[in-house]
Amino acid sequence: MRGLVLFCVAAFGLIAALLFGGATRAGYLSTGVAQLACLPALGLSAWTLLKGGVWREMRAPLLIAAGVLLLPAAQLIPMPPTLWSGLPGRTEFADVYRAAGLALPWAPVSLDPYATLRSAVALIPGLAIFLAVAQLEARFRRRLVLLLAALAALHAALGLAQLTASEGALRPYTITNETEAVGLFANRNHLVALLLAALPLFGAWAAFAGKDAGPGRVRRWLLCGTLCAPVAAALLLSGSRAGLLLAIPAAGASAALAAYGVRRHEKAFAMALAAGTVGLALLALTQVLAPGLVSGLTGGLDPVRSEFVAITGQAARRFAPLGSGFGTFVPVYQAFEQPERLRPAFANHAHNDWLELWLEGGLPMLLLLAAFLAWLLRSCLDLRRTEGRSRDHLRRQAIPAAGACVVLLLLAHSLAEYPLRTPALMALFGFACALLVRAPEASRTRELAR
């Protein structure tokens, strides 16, 4: 019963996040809806985690999650004037008070405490889904994998419809890509991130087709193919260079995961399927969007994004080692822009989330990222430890392996974009991280429930 309730609140939170969490900025009503819908999962999972003592089995990720929550809280603690005025990047603010003849007030590390508070609230979907899914049995996790695959297919189908509709039609946000597929997102690149993450999930779910017999196996493969078709089509037509490049490892991982469940005499077919999938991805790269892609790859980074990276790096070094505060990117970036190179549109993010996190969180954020990467590496290495090379064991490993692939794809995409700034992809990231936590056994879950 406990597992079923957790499954229901996690599914409700994921559905709300994927349907309403596509905005890239705070302040949208839909963003609030997505965050509120995840609160039941956060409250219930936190209570069951402490009540049942499961937290002892997942100390490392919980400590990292606690650090991610405590860091913005620490940036909101007021400090005496003699302390904050001596921090890097704060001299100009102190000079303004002195020029006006005012006494220096107490102030926190964050240059915009309200923006930092909003950034902390934005973590709710990812944290709630992680805590809930990490306590679910494997059978419930498999159902959520199918749910996410179906939601990704819905986004893809809507994106394909947007390509054929009139300009600006069928798009949920006013500020958006008006001629490209965006699904239920405001930015086409965030749809691409979801589609990339969906490919390993399809492969993991298809791995269990080998467990079914006769018609059951055929139905599973047909459903997987039906859902995967719009995802692959929307991904190939996205026009995103980063998306098409990452589609190669994503498609290869999907085919490899699907092969976890095949019989020994079907290995040749699985390898042919993997080679064919990667070949199709390469064909799309060279034929569908070859001119723009090749010129983009040979010409290096886009000039605008190169400027984003250069200015963000300059600002990050200026505010090191404590950072400027989470959520303060826009005003800080504008302060470092050159007047002769100003553009009508402002930069809402650095288009490199690793660099932006360094600017806003400083050295403490880099240490948290290093701890997370160490945990991720250890979790991936644990997947290689097998209790026997039986097909059933490999099939069970497909779900956590898919979680590792999703995490790596989102982290790689964050080098050129900011996917985790949306509630939808933050919830997906929390779900993928939870898949790397060892699923409790059914008998252990019943014991904890009692």
The domain ranges of the chain are 2-71+124-300+347-449, 81-109
52-70 pLDDT, tens digit per residue, is: 766 777 889 999 999 999 9
* pLDDT confidence band for 210 (50 / 70 / 90): low
403-426 pLDDT, tens digit per residue, is: 999 999 999 999 999 999 999 999
- Identity of the highest mean pLDDT range in 245-249, 344-348, 439-443: 245-249
Which position has the higher pLDDT, 50 or 286?
50
Residue 394 has pLDDT above 50, yes or no: yes
Q: How far is Cα 149 from Cα 205, in angstroms, rounded to an integer?
A: 9
pTM as predicted: 0.89
Q: What's the pLDDT score for residue 439?
A: 85
221-248 pLDDT, tens digit per residue, is: 677 777 888 888 888 887 788 888 898 8
Residue 123 has pLDDT above 80, yes or no: yes
Cα→Cα distances 119→49, 357, 377, Å: 24, 12, 27
Q: Which of 118, 127, 194, 112 is nearest to 157 (CA)?
A: 194
Q: What's the pLDDT score for residue 217?
A: 63
Which position has the higher pLDDT, 100 or 210?
100
Q: What's the pLDDT score for residue 295?
A: 45
Q: Which of 111, 45, 21 is nearest to 315 (CA)?
A: 111
Rounded average pLDDT over 81-102 = 89
Rounded average pLDDT over 301-320 = 86
16-26 pLDDT, tens digit per residue, is: 999 999 988 77
Which residue type occupies 278?
V
Q: Are 349 and 329 in contact (CB under 8 A)?
A: yes
Q: Please provide residue 211's backbone torsions phi and psi, each rounded to the nearest 5 degrees.
A: -80, -25
> What is the percent of the chain where pLDDT is above 70?
81
Q: Are 224 and 206 in contact (CB under 8 A)?
A: yes
In the predicted model, what is the mean pLDDT of the chain? Answer: 83
R_g (Cα) of the chain, nearest Å? 23
